């Protein structure tokens, strides 16, 4: 935690994006989380991703629940819409907001307690409905705000800071998201921005339910020997299946790769994902294979990261519900109250 | 790159840009903090120790520190360091009991100092407390040298000179004022153990063009004229005045003219306005006193009517650059410009002059410049007993350089008189202390002020122009001084990195407001500079590189625009970053000899 605000002075050569904003314009007030918290790195990655994608801050809605992770939306995108909801209820509130105004970019930020315990039902339904959102779980495997109890994503056999061994099975949010029909599923690590930033960018560009499980070490309560979510443990066991660049008009293509090692994925909105395969044979479009692979590697003690599954042509909740093209919140009185003639026609159709 | 060796005192000294740029290496941020704290006397004493003339330099310094100031690289303007120095002098109160006492006992060594200007006075300040019998000679009736004779009183009041020169003369040197030295040979024959020459660059350059001889009555050499004005021999000038030259002397000449009856005063320079040698703020002050500066005009002739000056003609030129980038002034072909005038002041440079130094006494002169050969570190001439400093050593510079020379020469004189090797220079005293007071609390104010540079209030022009002794700048009041002091980035509070504690969590990278910190693969410096969070294009600023960390990467910090806000250290969960105050005291004569 820091008392003074981050000085407004910036590097004299700080770049501006297509909208004329600098990266600093996407920041929020200074974080009150513990010094070194992985969550702050994720906030910085979100800031960078939004800057690089030239996203207008007022077109973003950031929603969260309760917990360390859910405090973070205050600390980034200070000029965006925000909603800090009830514990675990971010997905429902976000679903409602999305129904009302589908034109905004929805960013849900949650934690392992918020999503894997009290809000697990909410999480599941947002995924299966295909709500067009980026759902980031800042996963530290511990209840930091209440001083370090195991959370639902703590690995079985992991040791707490007090020395207790976790005897409960961990909930695998990535596995659930895959099963429940999320159309973009990734896992990353707060200590690896080179991987995390492009994943967030790709997720923001994705037109369906995009889920990112981001391991984020808790420096206060879960960064010790015996933890499976510490900086050292994650760095040692991290197995990235691919490395990705998001090709935006701003990005330069500078490196050539050997044929067969790179796959280009064109997303629905025209953005391109350039995937450099690090594991030959891993297919990011095969949901079932992804599930199997994840479980195999988890059993071997590895933490698989990277883009795990993507459907380049996702269908979202609005398509399922066949809503009109314009956002519901801008429908005027004439559209909402079409009059008795329209009612008569409707009734006639039901006879 | 090799890991940075922060035990080398130069590494962090360079980060304190102002102090590094200062010839005397005054610890600027340290005294600015004291000013912000209202501890003016303490701030004054730091200055007095380092640059000897805080009140004088706080008004007249050439301020090499300000263009170097880091603040000028993150926003428009540097901290007003020079004017803050004056604040320390203005509000210090009585500090006489903090000055070294006049020694009770002499050490038996006797040194002659030629000239009573800033260089000699600095030598005297450093050596008098050590017991030396010092004899200071000057042809002027009062001590101070060019400080007193050439700087107009509306920039530097007499009382300030009297006070700060007085602090030195009170230390007991024997003052032989009004006594010109005409022969170094005979001085050497006296019983001096060593001689210091700080006689300045006393000769103003003339302009031998047609009409110069005939119209001589109304053509004056700038520094001589300023000196006559200063000592009250000249009290008026013609209504229309032309000042030739683009340096600070020219600015002093034109502004003095405005106060002595000149109401149509103009400065005419050969070069372009931008290339003028005068400090930008002195040009500004001249212009604000309704003095136009006309450029690219080369003096051709003094026009006179039977010996009575009536005006000057100039050839209009333009600048052309040859293949090697050298500037040539070539005529534009326009007809000559003619300007009417009653008086002309020639301020086209000054030079050394050593007619009193015999060439057969074992003191070698440089053939090309006819300057004595002087060692750049020890200030010793080829005659072991004779040392030089100030403008007399390497040609015209300014007060702060003279002070720096004086300190170094004093070390040499001390060592020479004690029979030690003058080439063996004493090391600086360096002190580094963590500024951590609590989890996120520092013993310096790390909250960065966003204020822009404050202007020093000026006396009303109408009143100022009426009296040549009325000081134009009024100085900051305490409130303004505090606000200006808060603009200082505390560059002497250094970011110190401990690789063994770092867990590479990126917290420092994320919080750094100026993208100074990166964790990346090591490489050659030229390559590494392009791969940092923000490309490090300022090659005069170092990159602080750690050894390889756990992931094999290194921490690389570009020192260029670091705000020294300490947020990296506040956000570091393991204390791998800490803020250490770095104080470096350049050695002076008192610590130069073990056998003092």
- Nearest-CA neighbor of B164 among B54, B62, B88, B61? B54
Asked if B440 lies within 8 A of A24 by C-beta distance, the reply is: no
Position with higher pLDDT, A21 vs B325: A21
Mean pLDDT of B72-88: 97
Q: Which domain holds residue B376?
A: 100-202+352-417
B442: CB partners within 8 A, 6+ apart: B435, B436, B493, B566, B579
Give the count of Cβ contacts less than 8 A between chain A and B: 101
Q: Nearest Cα to B47, choosing from B170, B164, B198? A: B164
Distances B154 to A107, B52, B263, B399, B465 between C-alpha atoms, Å: 65, 21, 17, 18, 9
| Whether the predicted pLDDT of B595 surpasses 60 | no
In Å, how far is B1's CA from the nearest CA of chain A?
23
Among partner residues A1, A7, A30, which is closest to B448 by beta-carbon distance? A7
- Mark whether B208 and B311 lie in a shared domain: yes
Residues A10, A11, A12, A14, Cα dihedral to 10°? -100
Query: Any CB–CB contact under 8 A between A254 and chain B?
Result: no
Distance spanning both ends of chain A, measured CA to CA: 66
Q: Which residues contact B99 (CB under 8 A, 6 or more apart)?
A: B48, B167, B170, B171
Measured in degrees and rounded to the nearest 5, phi and psi for residue B561 equal -115, 20
Residue B182 CA: distances (Å) to CA of B256, B380, B381, B569: 31, 21, 19, 62
- Contact in structure between A327 and A100 (CB atoms under 8 Å): yes
Q: Which residue of B has its CA nearest to A232?
A: B503
Shared domain check, B251 and B223: yes
**pLDDT more than 70, % of chain B:** 99
- Chain-centre distance for alpha carbon B300: 34
Record the tokens describing residue A137, joined without a space.
């779980």
Q: Does residue A34 contact residue B439 with C-beta atoms inside 8 Å? A: no
Task: Using a CB–CB cutoff of 8 Å, tell me whether B490 touches chain A.
Answer: no
Across the interface, do A4 and B447 touch by the CB < 8 Å criterion? yes
Separation CA A312–CA A307 (nearest Å): 12
Distances in Å between the alpha carbon of A223 and those of A38, A110, A233, B574?
11, 20, 9, 12
Residues B502-532: tens digit of each pLDDT = 999 999 999 999 999 999 999 999 999 999 9
Residue B596: predicted pLDDT: 42
Q: What would the mean pLDDT of B93-113 be, rounded to a whole number?
A: 95
User: For chain A, what is the domain count?
Assistant: 1
Residue the block writes with tokens 């200055």: B47
The per-residue pLDDT for range B316-336, each reduced to its tens digit, is 999 998 888 888 889 999 999
* B350, burial (CB in 10 Å: exposed 0-12, middle 13-18, buried 19+): buried
Q: Is B549 on the interface with A (CB under 8 A)?
A: no
- Pick the more confident residue, B337 or A3: B337
Which tokens is B199 given? 């006689």
With beta carbons under 8 A apart, name residues in chain A contacting B439.
1
**Given a cut of 90, is residue B370 above it in pLDDT?**
no
| Stated length of chain B | 596
Is residue B424 within 8 Å of residue B381, measured between CB atoms? no
Contact B450 A8 (CB under 8 A): yes
User: What is the length of chain A?
Assistant: 351
Beta-bridged to residue B350, according to DSSP, are B204
> Given this model, what pLDDT does residue B141 score?
92
Top pLDDT among B46 and B324 is at B46
| CA–CA distance, A262 with A274 (Å, rounded to integer) | 7
CA B420 to chain centre: 30
Say if B179 is an interface residue toward chain A (CB within 8 Å). Answer: no
The answer to whether residues B154 and B470 touch, using CB atoms and an 8 Å cutoff, is yes
Report pLDDT for B230.
93
- Residue B257's φ and ψ, nearest 5 degrees, are -60, -40
d(CA A309, CA A283): 8
pLDDT in tens, A173-222: 999 999 999 999 999 999 999 999 999 999 999 999 999 999 999 999 99
Are B209 and B330 contained in the same domain?
yes
Q: Is A209 helix (H, G, I), strand (E, B) or coil?
A: strand
Residue B58 inside a domain? The answer is no
Same domain, B265 and B370: no
Long-range CB pairs of A232-236 (<8 Å, 24+ gap) are A232/B503, A232/B550, A234/A189, A234/A191, A234/A303, A235/A189, A235/A191, A235/B550, A235/B551
Token digits for B495?
A: 């970011």
Domain boundary among B417, B452, B474: B417
Does residue B7 form part of some domain? no
The residue of chain A nearest to residue B512, with distances taken between CA atoms, is A6
pLDDT band at B312 (very low <50, low <70, confident <90, very high): very high
Assess contact for B519 and B506: CB atoms under 8 A.
yes
Tokens for B562, please give them. Answer: 């670091």
What do you get for the CA distance between the two ends of chain B, in Å? 43
> What are the pLDDT digits (tens) for B524-562?
999 999 999 999 999 999 999 999 999 999 999 999 999
Mean pLDDT of chain A: 93
B188 lies in the same domain as B309: no
Closest-CA residue of B relative to A1 is B571
With both helix axes pointing from N to C terminus, report the angle between B478-485 and B28-36 in degrees, rounded to the nearest 10.
130
* Average pLDDT over chain B, rounded to an integer: 95
CATH number at residue B356: 3.50.50.60
Q: DSSP letters of A114-157?
A: IIIIITHHHHHHHHHHT-SEEEEEEE-SEETTTTSEE-TTSPTT
Q: CB neighbours of A85 closer than 8 A, spacing ≥ 6?
A: A63, A64, A65, A92, A93
Answer yes or no: is pLDDT of A257 > 70: no
Decide if B178 contacts B140 (C-beta within 8 A).
Answer: yes
Contact B130/B172 with Cβ under 8 angstroms? Answer: no
pLDDT tens per residue across span B162-180: 999 999 999 999 999 999 9
Say if residues A301 and A237 touch (Cβ distance below 8 Å): yes
Q: Does any domain span residue A340? A: no
Q: Are B515 and A14 in contact (CB under 8 A)?
A: yes
> How far B512 CA lies from chain A's nearest CA (Å)?
8
Lowest-confidence region among B91-95, B427-431, B563-567, B587-591: B587-591
Cα B565 from Cα B512, distance rounded (Å): 9
pLDDT at A271: 80
Query: What CATH number has the domain bearing residue A148?
Result: 3.40.50.970
> Least CB-CB distance to A219: which of B505, B550, B567?
B505
Per-residue pLDDT at A72 exceeds 70: yes
| Helix B248-259 × helix B280-288 angle, to 10° | 20
CA pair distance B393, B380, nearest whole angstrom = 10
Each residue's pLDDT tens digit, A151-178 = 999 999 999 999 999 999 999 999 999 9
Q: Label residue A4 by pLDDT band (50, 70, 90).
A: confident
**Cα(B101)–Cα(A106) distance, rounded to whole angstroms?**
75
User: For A76, which DSSP code?
Assistant: B
Strands A149-150 vs A81-84: parallel, antiparallel or unpaired = unpaired
Residues B257 and B311 in one domain: yes
Separation between Cα atoms, residue B459 and residue B473, nearest integer Å: 6
Q: Which residue has the tokens 């009612």?
A: A343
Q: What CA–CA distance (Å, rounded) separates B54 from B86?
A: 7
What b/e sequence results for A60-72 when a residue is b if at least 16 CB atoms lie within 10 Å of its CB, and e otherwise? bbbbbbbbbbbbb
Query: Residues B372, B395: contact at Cβ < 8 Å?
Result: no
B536–chain A nearest CA distance, Å: 10
Token pair belonging to A235: 């760095």
If 0-12 CB within 10 Å is exposed, 13-18 middle and 19+ buried, where does residue A333 land? exposed
Q: Are residues B301 and B209 in the same domain?
A: yes
Which pLDDT value is given to residue A276?
Answer: 83
SS3 B458: strand
Closest Cβ–Cβ partner in A9, A41, A232 for B563: A9
What are residue B434's DSSP bridge partners?
B580
Kindly determine whether residue A2 and residue B440, on different chains, have CB atoms separated by under 8 Å.
Answer: yes
Could you tell me the strand order of the sheet in which B493-497 lies?
B429-434, B577-585, B493-497
CA-CA distance, B114 to A338, in Å (whole number)? 104
pTM: 0.91
Same domain as B252, residue B131: no
d(CA A245, CA A197): 9
The SS3 call for residue A37 is coil
**pLDDT at residue number B178:** 95
Binding-face residues of A in 27-46 toward B, CB within 8 A = 30, 34-38, 40-41, 43-44
Separation CA B340–CA B241 (nearest Å): 9
Tell whether A1 is covered by a domain: no
Instruction: Give the CA distances from residue B76 to residues B15, B311, B483, B538, in Å, rounded to whole numbers and listed in that order.
Output: 20, 42, 16, 17
Q: Over pLDDT 70: what percentage of chain A? A: 96
Q: Which run of H or of E encompasses A211?
A: strand A209-215
The answer, yes or no, to whether residue A253 has pLDDT greater than 70, is no
Looking at the structure of chain B, the number of domains it has is 2
Q: B311 - beta bridge partners?
A: B303, B340
Q: What pLDDT sits at residue A260?
A: 63
Tell me the average pLDDT across B305-322: 93
For A329, B22, B136, the CA distances from B201, given in Å and listed in that order, are 82, 21, 17
B197 and B234 inside one domain:
no
Q: Over 70: is that where the pLDDT of A258 sits?
A: no
Which of A11, A12, A219 is closest, CB to CB, to B573?
A: A219
Q: Is A17 part of any domain?
A: no
Domain that holds residue A85: 23-321
In chain A, what residues touch B567 (CB-CB under 8 Å)? 2, 4, 6
What is the C-alpha to C-alpha distance for residues A76 and A206, in angstroms, rounded to an integer? Answer: 21
Alpha-carbon span B500 to B546, nearest angstrom: 10
The reply to whether B561 touches chain A by the CB within 8 Å rule is yes
Phi, then psi, of B366 in degrees rounded to 5? -75, 130
Residue B314 lies in a domain: yes
pLDDT digits (tens, 9 = 90+) for B225-270: 999 999 999 999 999 999 999 999 999 999 999 999 999 999 999 9
- pLDDT over 50 at A279, yes or no: yes
pLDDT of residue B385: 96
> Measured between alpha carbons, how far is A275 from A240 in angstroms, rounded to an integer?
12
Domain boundary residue among B349, B376, B401?
A: B349
CA quadruple A40, A46, A49, A52: dihedral sign: negative
Show the tokens assigned to B484: 């200006």
Is residue B106 domain-resident?
yes
Beta carbons of A231 and B511 less than 8 Å apart: no
Q: Residue B507 is nearest to which of A6, A12, A35, comparing CB atoms?
A: A35
pLDDT exceeds cutoff 60 at A255? no
């Amino acid at each position: 935690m820091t008392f003074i605000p981050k000085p407004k002075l910036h590097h004299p050569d700080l770049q501006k994006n297509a909208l004329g904003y600098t990266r600093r314009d996407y920041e929020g007030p200074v974080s009150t989380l513990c010094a070194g918290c992985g969550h702050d790195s994720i906030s910085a990655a979100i800031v960078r991703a939004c800057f690089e994608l030239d996203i207008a801050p007022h077109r973003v809605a950031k929603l969260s629940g309760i917990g360390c992770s859910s405090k973070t939306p205050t600390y980034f995108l200070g000029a965006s819409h925000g909603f800090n909801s009830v514990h675990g209820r971010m997905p429902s509130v976000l679903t409602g907001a999305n129904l009302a105004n589908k034109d905004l970019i929805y960013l849900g930020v949650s934690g392992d307690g918020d999503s894997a315990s009290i809000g697990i039902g909410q999480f599941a339904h947002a995924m299966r409905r295909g709500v067009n959102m980026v759902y980031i779980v800042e996963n530290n495997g511990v209840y930091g705000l209440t001083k370090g109890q195991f959370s639902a994503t703590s690995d079985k056999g992991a040791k707490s800071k007090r020395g207790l061994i976790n005897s409960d099975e961990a909930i695998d949010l990535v596995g659930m998201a895959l099963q429940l029909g999320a159309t973009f599923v990734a896992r990353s690590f707060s200590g690896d921005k080179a991987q995390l930033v492009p994943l967030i960018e790709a997720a923001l560009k994705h037109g369906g339910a995009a889920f990112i499980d981001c391991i984020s070490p808790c420096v206060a309560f879960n960064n010790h020997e015996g933890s499976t979510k510490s900086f050292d443990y994650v760095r040692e066991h991290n197995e990235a299946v691919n490395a990705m660049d998001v090709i935006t008009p701003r990005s330069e293509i500078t490196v050539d790769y050997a044929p067969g090692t790179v796959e280009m994925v064109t997303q629905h909105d025209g953005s391109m994902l350039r995937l450099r395969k690090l594991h030959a044979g891993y297919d990011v479009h095969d949901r079932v294979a992804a599930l199997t692979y994840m479980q195999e590697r988890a059993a071997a003690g590895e933490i698989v990261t990277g883009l795990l599954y993507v459907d380049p042509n996702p269908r979202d909740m609005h398509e399922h519900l066949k809503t009109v093209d314009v956002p519901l919140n801008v429908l005027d009185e004439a559209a909402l109250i079409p009059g008795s003639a329209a009612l008569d026609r409707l009734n006639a159709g039901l006879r | 790159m090799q890991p940075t060796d922060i035990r080398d005192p130069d590494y962090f000294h360079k980060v304190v840009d102002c102090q590094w740029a200062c010839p005397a290496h005054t610890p600027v941020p340290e005294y600015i903090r004291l000013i912000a704290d209202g501890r003016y006397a303490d701030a004054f004493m730091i200055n007095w120790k380092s640059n000897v003339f805080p009140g004088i330099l706080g008004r007249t310094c050439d301020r090499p520190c300000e263009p170097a100031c880091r603040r000028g690289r993150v926003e428009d303007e540097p901290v007003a360091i020079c004017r803050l120095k004056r604040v320390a002098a203005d509000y210090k109160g009585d500090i006489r009991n903090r000055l070294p006492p006049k020694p009770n006992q002499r050490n038996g060594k006797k040194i002659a100092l030629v000239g009573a200007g800033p260089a000699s006075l600095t030598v005297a300040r450093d050596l008098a407390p050590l017991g030396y019998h010092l004899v200071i000679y000057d042809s002027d009736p009062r001590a101070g040298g060019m400080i007193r004779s050439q700087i107009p009183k509306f920039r530097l009041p007499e009382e300030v000179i009297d006070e700060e020169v007085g602090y030195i003369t009170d230390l007991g040197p024997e003052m032989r004022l009004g006594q010109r030295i005409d022969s170094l040979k005979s001085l050497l024959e006296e019983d001096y153990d060593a001689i210091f020459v700080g006689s300045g660059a006393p000769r103003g350059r003339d302009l031998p063009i047609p009409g110069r001889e005939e119209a001589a009555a109304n053509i004056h050499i700038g520094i001589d004229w300023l000196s006559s004005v200063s000592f009250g021999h000249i009290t008026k000038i013609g209504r229309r005045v032309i000042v030739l030259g683009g340096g600070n002397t020219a600015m002093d000449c034109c502004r003095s003219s405005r106060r002595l009856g000149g109401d149509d005063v103009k400065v005419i320079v050969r070069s372009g306005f931008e290339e003028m040698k005068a400090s930008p703020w002195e040009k500004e002050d001249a212009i604000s006193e309704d003095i136009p500066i006309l450029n690219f005009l080369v003096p051709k002739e003094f026009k006179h009517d039977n010996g009575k000056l009536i005006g000057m003609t100039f050839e209009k030129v333009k600048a052309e650059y040859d293949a090697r980038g050298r500037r040539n002034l070539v005529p534009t072909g326009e007809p000559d410009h003619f300007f009417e005038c009653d008086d002309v002041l020639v301020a086209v440079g000054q030079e050394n002059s050593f007619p009193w130094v015999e060439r057969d006494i074992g003191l070698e002169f440089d053939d090309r410049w006819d300057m004595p050969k002087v060692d750049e570190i020890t200030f010793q001439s080829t005659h072991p007993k004779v040392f030089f400093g100030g403008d007399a050593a390497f040609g015209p510079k300014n007060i702060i350089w003279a002070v720096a020379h004086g300190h170094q020469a004093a070390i040499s004189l001390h060592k020479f008189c004690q029979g030690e090797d003058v080439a063996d220079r004493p090391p600086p005293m360096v002190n580094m202390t963590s500024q951590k007071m609590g989890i996120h609390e520092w013993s310096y104010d790390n909250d960065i002020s966003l204020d822009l540079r404050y202007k020093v209030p000026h006396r009303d022009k109408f009143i100022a122009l009426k009296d040549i002794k009325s000081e134009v700048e009024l100085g900051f009041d305490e409130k303004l001084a505090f606000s200006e002091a808060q603009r200082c980035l505390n560059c002497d509070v250094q970011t110190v990195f401990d690789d063994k504690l770092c867990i590479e969590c990126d917290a420092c990278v994320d919080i750094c407001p100026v993208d100074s910190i990166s964790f990346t693969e090591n490489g050659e410096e030229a390559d590494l500079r392009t791969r940092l969070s923000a490309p490090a294009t300022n090659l005069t600023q170092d990159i602080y590189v750690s050894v390889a960390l756990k992931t094999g990467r290194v921490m690389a910090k570009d020192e260029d625009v670091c705000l020294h806000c300490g947020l990296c250290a506040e956000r570091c969960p393991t204390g791998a970053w800490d803020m250490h105050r770095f104080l470096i005291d350049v050695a002076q004569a008192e610590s130069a000899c073990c056998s003092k």
